[in-house]
Structure formats: C-alpha cells, structure tokens
Amino acid sequence: MILSSDKKFTEEQLQLTWCREKIGTMFSAVDGSDIELLTPGIWNLEAGPDFLNAKLTINGRECTGSIEIHKKCSDWVSHGHSSNPLYDKIILHVVAKDDTESLSHELQKLLPSAPVVVLQPRFATTRISPSDKFPKGKCLSFFSSVNDDELNLFFCKAGIKRFYGKVDFTLGNMREQGINRAFTELLFDACGYKQNRTCFIELFHRLCRYENLSEEEIEAVIWGESGVLPDPATVQLDPTMKQFVQRLWSIWWKIRKEPLPDIQWRRSGLRPMNFPERRIAALTELMKKIGKLPLTFFANLAKENQSPAAFTKAVIKNVKCSHPIWDNYITFTSSCATPAAVLGKSRAEDICINVILPSLQAHILLSEKSADSSCDNTVEKSLPEQAFAAMPSLQSNRILETASLKWFAPPGRKRNIIKGAVSQQGILHIYRNFCEVVCSKCSECPLTDLMKK
C-alpha cells in the first residue's frame, strides 16, 4: 500500500520503505540521473545519515556511501545537515516531496550535491521493530546449523585475529615513531571518540612541537593548542572555572608557539558529556597519572600484576579518571545536571582492550628483536593476549546489535554465543571484514562458503 505524500506519515515509515526496496530497483532522480539500487545500506541507529555503507550505480558509475531520508528536501536545511561533517559522504537524498523551489536561492545552495529520488512511503505501521530495520542475512541459515559453543569458539578466534591486527598496526607505528610516542598518539585517538578522532590526532601533533615540558606545561599546551581555552577577560566564568583558566593561560602564554589554524571540533550529534572540553580534560588527567612514558607505566603494571585478571583490573583502575572541576562541567560556561567522571569504567575498558593490551603485546614483540634499552622484556610474553581473552563483555554498540539481528535467530541467542569481550571483538572483526566490505549485499559475501570449508 502506497501512502500518498499528503497523508500523515513518519520519516521512519519512509526509511522502512527504502530499507525494503529490492536490489536491482531502478529510480529516476529529479535531475534525470539513472539510479540502480545495489544495496540500501545499514539502518543507522546513531548520529548521522539514516543509512550507511549503501551501494548504488548512478548513471552507470558504482558509488558507495550514505543515504539520507527526509519527508521533503528542505528538511536537509532545517535539520542543520549542511554544516555537519557526518553528512559529507551522502550519495543520495531520498524524499517524499521535492520542495526545492520553495527555498530561497541562498538556501538551495545548502542542499547536498547528491541526486534526489522521490519515494512514497508504503508502510502504514507506526511501530517499527528492530527486526524490521535489519533483515536477516545469508549467514543466518548457516549459523543456525552450528551450536552456541562452536559459534562462541569461532568468534573468539576471530577476536584474537582482530587483536593481532591491532598489534601489527601498532608495531609498525612503534618502529617509525618510537614506543611511547606511538602509544601516546593512540591514547589521543581513543579520547577523541568517533566524531573527534582526527581532531585529537591533530592535537597530538601540535603537542609534539614542544620538547622537555613539565607536567603542568603539558596540560597547558594541550588546552592551549586545542583552541577551546577561553579568554577570562572576555568570557564570563564562575570563580572556580576562572581560576582554572587563568592558571592555564599563565603557563601557556609564556611557552606557546606560532598559532596554527583552528582545530575543527565536532559537536553536532554528540552527547554533551562527550563534548571536546570534557574529552580534553579526561586526556590531561590521564596524562598526569601515567607520566611522560605511558607505555612504560603499563609495562610496570604488568610486572606487578602477573595474572590476567589482576592486570586488567589494575589497568582499568589507572585509566579511569575524575577531574576536580570537569566532572561537573560540559563546557567552560555550562555545568552538568549530574556530576560524572570525565573517563568512566566503560570507556576505560574500551581503551584497555583496543589500545593498551595490543600496544603492550607489540612492545613485547619489539623487545624480542631489539637491543633498545627502552624495550622491557621482563613482562610475560602471553600476558596481554591472555588478559584480552579473559576480559568480560564490554558495553554493546551498533555493530554488535546489528550483527545479532542479522545473524542469529532469535536475536537473543547472542547471550549464549557472546561470552566476553574477545567474542564481541570477533563479531566486530567478521562484520567489518565481510558485511561492510560487500555493503551487506549477502549474495556477494564469501563468509558462509569459507566457514563450510
């Protein structure tokens, strides 16, 4: 049933219509372009475009990118997408009504350059379940024929493979940059989360322009180079924050180098508690705790805690950070409704499994082949991998939920299959190396054939 565009419908109903379009469907775009649907992409439950990793042919040319769905073209402007970098990779704008002519010439310039396809919603349901959003994949029938313990073992092996992929990547960086510099860059990257990773890497490179800094100077340089540090003479701050800012400026003013272009921090789509200011506060507090040789710090922790459980407990305890001021603030002028640590347990666990354990394993491998005195070979060789394999399940995410809906019947079966962080990492490894590579076009995925062999 097609709902006419003058009837009331939700954007989600239009999204469902797009999600259920058959592969091979042809569309004629508003500008006359011929569009063939190869795969509609994955329904995005987080900030950003509605569908990710879609594949189309546009006038015979294959394109991969994101799809945005709106009731009408002008929603792109009213929703503020034109200034949001999350929408930079849009390859198609799907709408129920093309109202471009109703916009001024200046507003029309803000619309995406991607083709526009007009599509009418076909589903009257107002309650759309997760299973509606994520159709079952080709893997479902094969996974259904394998018992839970076998699947757990399969995903654990894939998780270890993902772990050593990170080890190899880190090992290359350590050879190029040195152990602690390469590791510090990874910590900066981890503090940026998804939206501001490149910004934190840029901040790391700016910090590297300085040498022989004291602990206080490192903190001041990070805040100063970030560009978010306000001028206490022109911005109204409460007494506690003003004192904090004035202290940083008194140090930063004396040692700052020639200014560089502003870092383009992203805030759109972020939870306020993940704003750049709080992430910078978390980073500076973490740097204070672990010192100028951060990987050496964690190597020493490993020597003091030789069991996997004791080691990961010690790592997470030391990565968790509270800040005497920033636990209570979102920005320099906005306070939190409820105080919260700038770096909590779930994020500390994430940094442990994705940064610290792979880096320490790379450090050990490097020490076996190096006479460099900075390489410490007294850490038990297998400890990082054992700690990785023993970690309990971490917080779920979009990929884990999507994969469970596509692969397992019923989706709740995941509770018997995913038994710890290592199997979670295995899910991520399989999804990224198969589902994402073929843009979820199951007919082209070799995974089930490989598993049968």
376 has a pLDDT exceeding 70: no
**CA separation for the pair 353, 224 (Å, rounded):** 30
pLDDT band with cut points at 50, 70 and 90 for residue 373: very low
Token pair listed for 221: 């340089």
pLDDT band with cut points at 50, 70 and 90 for residue 453: low
Q: Is residue 400 part of a domain?
A: no
The closest alpha carbon to 202, from 227, 233, 219, belongs to: 227
| Total domains, the chain | 2
Q: Is the model more confident about 2 or about 39?
A: 39
Are 177 and 279 within one domain? yes
Are 251 and 110 within one domain? no
Provide the percentage of residues in the chain whose pLDDT is more than 90: 74
**CA separation for the pair 367, 192 (Å, rounded):** 29
Q: Is the model more confident about 267 or about 6?
A: 267
Are 215 and 293 within one domain? yes
371 has a pLDDT exceeding 60: no
Which residues sit opposite 57 in a β-bridge? Answer: 36, 62
Are 232 and 335 within one domain? yes
The pLDDT, as a whole number, for residue 139 is: 85
372 has a pLDDT exceeding 70: no
Are 118 and 182 within one domain? no
The closest alpha carbon to 99, from 132, 125, 66, 73, belongs to: 73
For 69-79, what is the mean pLDDT? 95
**CA separation for the pair 277, 264 (Å, rounded):** 13
Q: Tell me if residue 285 falls in helix, strand or coil.
A: helix
**What are the tens digits of pLDDT across the range 160-181?**
999 999 999 999 999 999 999 9
Average pLDDT, the chain: 91
Domain boundary among 357, 373, 394: 394
What domain range includes position 239? 164-394
Element (H, E) at 206: helix 197-207
Q: Taking the CB of residue 243, how many other CB atoms lie within 10 A of it? A: 12
pLDDT band with cut points at 50, 70 and 90 for residue 152: very high
**CA separation for the pair 312, 356 (Å, rounded):** 10
Element (H, E) at 116: strand 116-118
User: Phi and psi at residue 335, in whole multiples of 5°?
Assistant: -95, 160
pTM: predicted TM-score of the whole model, two decimal places: 0.86
